[in-house]
């Protein structure tokens, strides 16, 4: 007998790249108002694994990760990514972004990020939004794939996502 298997709610996270702390704080405030309380915020990390964003945002660039207390249905991530794109546009100057926001989710098995860019390892969700499994959990640790960006391969990032995963497991 055919039975549909719907996913359990997942831990909503957001990854930021920015140059200006004030823009980050304003963005975080808007996201908190929209999606609720934050239960994890990483320290500010240097973002220097690529120069891809420097022509648009300047340098030095920084990275932070947050997670939200309220779990989300993974089907909501199209709307969440579209909302984050509007925020990026709101804080743009001269049509250049001042902040990059990549929402995603963590469950027991993986970290998934959303993007607007298609590639061989990404799955189209709808409305111009794609999803990729960035890290998978196996052997008591997050592991990367050949397509995982270099910064997400670091133990620093993997440790952050393990902390968020532990919060998630405590909520279930």
Q: What is the mean pLDDT of residues 55-79?
A: 96
Instruction: Please state, rounded to an integer, the average pLDDT across all residues of the chain.
Output: 96
83-140: pLDDT as tens digits: 999 999 999 999 999 999 999 999 999 999 999 999 999 999 999 999 999 999 999 9
Q: Are 151 and 47 in contact (CB under 8 A)?
A: yes
- Is the overall model pTM greater than 0.85, yes or no? yes
pLDDT band, residue 47 (cuts 50/70/90): very high
3-state secondary structure of 148: coil
Q: What percent of the chain has pLDDT over 70?
A: 99
pLDDT at residue 102 in the model: 97
Note whether residue 5 is domain-resident. Answer: no
pLDDT of residue 1: 67
Residue 137 lies in a domain: yes
The answer to whether residue 23 is domain-embedded is yes
CB 111 within 8 A of CB 104: yes
**What is the distance between the alpha carbons of residues 7 and 152, in angstroms, rounded to a whole number?**
24
- How far is residue 141's CA from residue 166's CA, in Å, rounded to a whole number? 11
How many independent structural domains does the chain possess? 1
pLDDT of 163 reads: 98
**Residue 41 domain flag:** yes
pLDDT of amino acid 2? 85
Would residue 4 count as lying in a domain?
no
Tokens of 55: 């022509």
* Least confident interval from 2-6, 58-62, 145-149: 2-6
**Host domain of residue 111:** 11-171
Residue 165 has pLDDT above 80, yes or no: yes
pLDDT digits (tens, 9 = 90+) for 128-164: 999 999 999 999 999 999 999 999 999 999 999 999 9
Domain at 64, CATH number: 3.30.70.260
Structure tokens at 91: 């804080």
Establish if 147 belongs to a structural domain.
yes
Q: Is the CB of residue 144 less than 8 Å from the CB of residue 153?
A: yes
Between helices 77-90 and 21-35, what is the axis angle to 10°?
A: 140
Inside any domain, residue 15? yes
Residue 143 lies in a domain: yes
């Amino acid at each position: 007998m055919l039975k549909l298997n719907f996913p359990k709610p997942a831990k909503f996270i957001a990854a930021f790249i920015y140059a200006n702390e004030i823009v980050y704080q304003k963005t975080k405030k808007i996201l908190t108002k929209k999606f609720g309380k934050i239960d994890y915020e990483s320290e500010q990390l240097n973002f220097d694994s690529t120069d891809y964003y420097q022509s648009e945002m300047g340098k030095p660039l920084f990275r932070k990760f947050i997670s939200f207390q309220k779990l989300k249905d993974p089907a909501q991530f199209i709307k969440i990514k579209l909302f984050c794109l509007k925020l990026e546009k709101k804080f743009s100057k001269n049509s250049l972004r001042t902040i990059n926001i990549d929402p995603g989710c963590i469950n027991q098995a993986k970290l998934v990020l959303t993007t607007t860019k298609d590639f061989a390892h990404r799955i189209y969700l709808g409305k111009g939004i794609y999803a990729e499994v960035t890290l998978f959990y196996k052997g008591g640790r997050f592991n990367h794939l050949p397509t995982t960006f270099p910064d997400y391969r670091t133990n620093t990032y993997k440790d952050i996502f393990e902390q968020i995963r532990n919060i998630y497991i405590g909520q279930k």
